[in-house]
């Protein structure tokens, strides 16, 4: 359930984009209701999807606050990026700003994990998973580095798609490609870990 809640802005972004693509004129009218006027039909779907994603992100964080639940630091970062980059997309009517949003978020993850490990000597991956896994320090370091490289690569791949393919392809990549690659990476990581876990851990699990 939490997984779906975390993905809510992405799901609604995709749904709004697909819906608006069937009738861009109606999408332009909806945008006018939130003060975004004079929108060309060609960019109306992604602008409406951006507006929906901003609203969903605000509601997402507001719901957690209302329920007095902890809001993860990276969720605050994600909210800030979507508000700023999404706001610029709507204000300047330029989809490239929202296309940069996943890259900035991926790179923020990479910098946080890398900076915490190498500057503060705190392995955040170990802190998140140590209750479930017992690994040697060297493996924790490799695991953290693997996530840093993954997020850095995902940020670069997002820009590659954004600048070299059409808008619809980028939207599909944002939803299916990003999630799919994440699942593949996690699965591959599980296989790698199973080969490197100490014998005691194998027996324990």
| pLDDT confidence of residue 196 | 63
- For residue 202, what pLDDT band results from cuts at 50, 70 and 90? very low
Asked if the model's pLDDT at residue 122 lies above 60, the reply is: yes
Kindly report the average pLDDT of the chain as a whole number: 89
22: CB partners within 8 A, 6+ apart: none
Provide the sign of the torsion angle of the four alpha carbons 159, 165, 171, 172, taken in this order: negative
pTM: 0.86
- Please state, in angstroms and rounded to a whole number, the distance separating the CA atoms of residues 147 and 75: 18
| pLDDT confidence of residue 203 | 47
What is the H or E stretch that residue 87 is in? Answer: helix 73-92
| pLDDT confidence of residue 18 | 94
Asked if the model's pLDDT at residue 5 lies above 50, the reply is: yes
Of 14-23, 46-55, 195-204, give the lowest mean pLDDT range.
195-204
SS3 128: helix
Asked if the model's pLDDT at residue 159 lies above 50, the reply is: yes
């Amino acid at each position: 359930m939490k997984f779906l809640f975390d993905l809510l802005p992405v799901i609604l972004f995709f749904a709004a984009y697909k819906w608006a693509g069937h009738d861009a004129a109606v999408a332009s009218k909806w945008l006018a209701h939130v003060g975004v006027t004079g929108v060309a039909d060609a960019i109306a779907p992604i602008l409406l999807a951006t507006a929906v994603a901003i609203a969903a992100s605000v509601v997402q964080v507001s719901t957690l606050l209302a329920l007095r639940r902890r809001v993860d630091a990276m969720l605050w970062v994600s909210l800030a990026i979507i508000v700023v980059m999404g706001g610029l997309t709507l204000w300047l009517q330029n989809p490239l700003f929202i296309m940069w949003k996943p890259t900035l978020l991926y790179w923020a993850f990479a910098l946080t994990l890398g900076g915490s490990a190498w500057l503060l000597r705190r392995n955040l991956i170990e802190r998140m998973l140590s209750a479930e896994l017992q690994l040697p320090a060297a493996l924790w370091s490799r695991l953290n580095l693997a996530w840093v490289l993954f997020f850095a690569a995902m940020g670069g791949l997002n820009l590659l798609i954004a600048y070299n393919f059409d808008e619809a392809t980028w939207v599909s990549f944002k939803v299916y490609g990003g999630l799919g690659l994440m699942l593949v990476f996690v699965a591959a990581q599980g296989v790698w870990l199973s080969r490197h876990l100490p014998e005691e851990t194998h027996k324990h699990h």
